[in-house]
Amino acid sequence: MFTELVRRARSYRRFDEADRVTEGELRELINVARLAPSGGNMQTLRFRLLWTAEDCAALFACVAWAGYLKDWPGPAEGERPTAYIGIVGTDECNVNTGIAAQTIQLAAAEMGIGACMIGSFNRTAAREALRVPEELKLQLIIALGRPAETIVLEDIRASESIEYYRDESDVHHVPKIVAADLILGRERE
């Protein structure tokens, strides 16, 4: 069921570093992403794939994790991403990038791979780590790995806090606003 896949395609930030994502799996993800729609069917996005421990360590140093978890500095050694996809393009079209990124995240979930889109990174350092060609812009990074955390979705009303949190068992909770509060004119249901 598609809804179940969407539910599973969470933002994972802790991974099993012993079970690395392979170059072949990354290529499979791009083979799905290439089928996604783009404005005017221009297909201007390009993808840099990183999967070696050395390349991953270099990019890890450039990215910021989970802004709401103030006491968590990001994944510890042993639970860091084992692959990354850098989405680059000629323009700043966020819509095309978003469609490609979510298509990759859904395909990854289907393959048992966890993903986290990362928009908060050191631009200069990340460009270098991803070897982004001079003429292209780095739009978004996707961190990938075999999931090593439990994530639970929580239904909330629009008036409640949207900040994700971890409980005493280290389970990650992600609040999602109920449909009635998202559809204009149905707020009173």
Ligand X SMILES: Cc1cc2nc3c(=O)[nH]c(=O)nc-3n(C[C@H](O)[C@H](O)[C@H](O)COP(=O)(O)O)c2cc1C
Tell me which residues touch ligand X (CB under 6 A): 10-11, 13, 64-66, 116-120, 164, 174
Q: How far is the CB of 10 from ligand X (least distance, A)?
A: 4
Q: How far is the CB of 138 from ligand X (least distance, A)?
A: 13
Closest CB to ligand X among 58 and 117? 117
Closest CB to ligand X among 41 and 161? 161
DSSP secondary-structure letter at 155? E
Distance, in Å, from the CA atom of 50 to the CA atom of 56, rounded to the nearest integer, reads 6
Residue written as tokens 């799905």?
32
Closest CB to ligand X among 126 and 136? 126
Q: How far is the CB of 16 from ligand X (least distance, A)?
A: 18
Q: With contact defined as beta carbons under 8 Å apart, do 108 and 29 qualify?
A: yes
Q: With contact defined as beta carbons under 8 Å apart, do 12 and 147 qualify?
A: yes
Q: Which amino acid is at 23?
A: E
Closest CB to ligand X among 21 and 116? 116
Closest CB to ligand X among 7 and 34? 7
Q: Which amino acid is at 186?
A: R
Q: How far is the CB of 44 from ligand X (least distance, A)?
A: 18
Distance, in Å, from the CA atom of 173 to the CA atom of 154, rounded to the nearest integer, reads 7
Which is nearest to 20 in space by CA: 171, 162, 145?
A: 145
| Beta strand extents in 73-123 (DSSP E only) | 83-89, 114-118
Distance, in Å, from the CA atom of 152 to the CA atom of 170, rounded to the nearest integer, reads 11
Q: How far is the CB of 39 from ligand X (least distance, A)?
A: 18
